[in-house]
Structure 1
Amino acid sequence: MTRSPVSPRPLTGGKVLFMLIAFFGVVIGVNVMMMKLAIQTLPGTEVDSAYSASLAYEDEIAAAHRQSERNWKVDAHIQRGADGGATLLVEARDSGGKPVSGLKFQGRFERPTDKRADQEVDLAEVGNGIYRGSAPLIAPGQWDLVLEGDTAGQRMFLSKNRVLLN
């Protein structure tokens, strides 16, 4: 007669229960950790309400047509400082080449991937049609430079351009 080998530790219901709890505990723990990291790094949305943005779309189209009819030439130059800051110089000219003066220009450096890093730049008129402002600490990399020019509460100019800062 041959004897069947006896397992030194038989598989019991308690062991199976422990293995199931451990398995699902690891899976749930990893999911919770990944969810927490995803929520913490969420940069936000482009617009808070898609419905409100869609209602304002017709106004945006009309403003873009008016801006195109004005045919202004607006040039922006960014100069990096050794301290990590950036100076923004904007020169605005009308369709005849004359400087556009008296506008309230506002600049904004927007990170394409993370709205939390956006930086406003207040531009002051330093010459006839020349506006200057600075961003004290701005990281290198890709940014969207948004320029808005207003007069009497009405937007006269808007542009958004991708720039690379070193």
Structure 2
Amino acid sequence: MSSKPLTGTKVFVMLVAFFGLVIGVNVTMMKLAIATLPGTDVDSPYAAGLTYEHEISAAHDQAARKWKVNANIERRNDGGAMVQVEARDANGQPISGLKFDGRLERPTDKRADLAVAFTETGIGIYRGDAAAVAPGQWNLVIEGEARGERVFLSRNRVILN
């Protein structure tokens, strides 16, 4: 058996190939991780911090109204979901004339968020539809507006099968 001697050139080529492979795998995994999960909850944490005081004030105003807003979400046979919101004032009377907007937000991926547009179908009853809602956990975000001002905000975790 004749064996070739291990030279400095062979060792150098093996080291370069090994570290080239390791770096190539790391770069590929990093690109896949960034493409599938951006890792941010808000686009601009600085802007979110600036609006924090306004959000606290709006939450106090909402609590002072003592409204009772109930939301119900039901899965449809076609894979979509129907969301119904019932709004009542502090005395239990239905609240009419509000404009509700909603979103079904994926807790892990903002790119999967779905908008829900509500229409008033009865006095104080608002309904909206979302198409092609995947099963799993969602955040149901409901915002109510009156005369151009947000008067209600709710965020609830729901599980759709």
Q: Same fold (TM over 0.5)?
A: yes
Name which one, 1 or 2, has greater alpha-carbon Rg.
1
Where does the alignment leave 5 or more consecutive residues of structure 2 unmatched? none
Distance 1:70 1:105 in 2: 17
SS in 1 for 2:151: strand
Asked if residue 147 in structure 1 is aligned to residue 134 in structure 2, the reply is no
Corresponding residue of 2:75: 80
How far the C-alpha of 1:54 sits from its partner, in A, is: 1.2
Corresponding residue of 2:155: 160
Give the 5 Å matches for 1:40-51.
40-51=35-46
Distance 2:38 2:68 in 1: 33
Aligned partner of 1:101: which letter?
S
Distance 1:25 1:118 in 2: 39
1:135 aligned to which of 130, 134, 151: 130
SS in 2 for 1:123: strand
TM-score (norm 2): 0.96
Corresponding residue of 2:116: 121
Distance 1:94 1:44 in 2: 39
Distance 2:19 2:49 in 1: 44
Q: Could you report, residue by residue, the CA deviation over 1:111-156 in whole angstroms, capped at 9, with x for unpaired residues?
A: 0000000000000000000000100110010000000000111001
Check conservation: 1:43, 1:113, Cα contact below 8 A.
Answer: no
How far the C-alpha of 1:43 sits from its partner, in A, is: 3.5
Aligned partner of 1:138: which letter?
V
Where does the alignment leave 5 or more consecutive residues of structure 1 unmatched? 1-5
Corresponding residue of 2:10: 15
Residues 152 and 44 of structure 1: CA distance in aligned 2, closer, same or farther (over 3 Å)? farther
Corresponding residue of 2:105: 110
Q: Cα RMSD over matched residues?
A: 1.3
Q: Could you report, residue by residue, the CA deviation over 1:22-72 in whole angstroms, capped at 9, with x for unpaired residues?
A: 111111111111111112112452222222111111110000000000010
How far the C-alpha of 1:13 sits from its partner, in A, is: 1.6
Corresponding residue of 1:3: none
Matched positions, count: 161
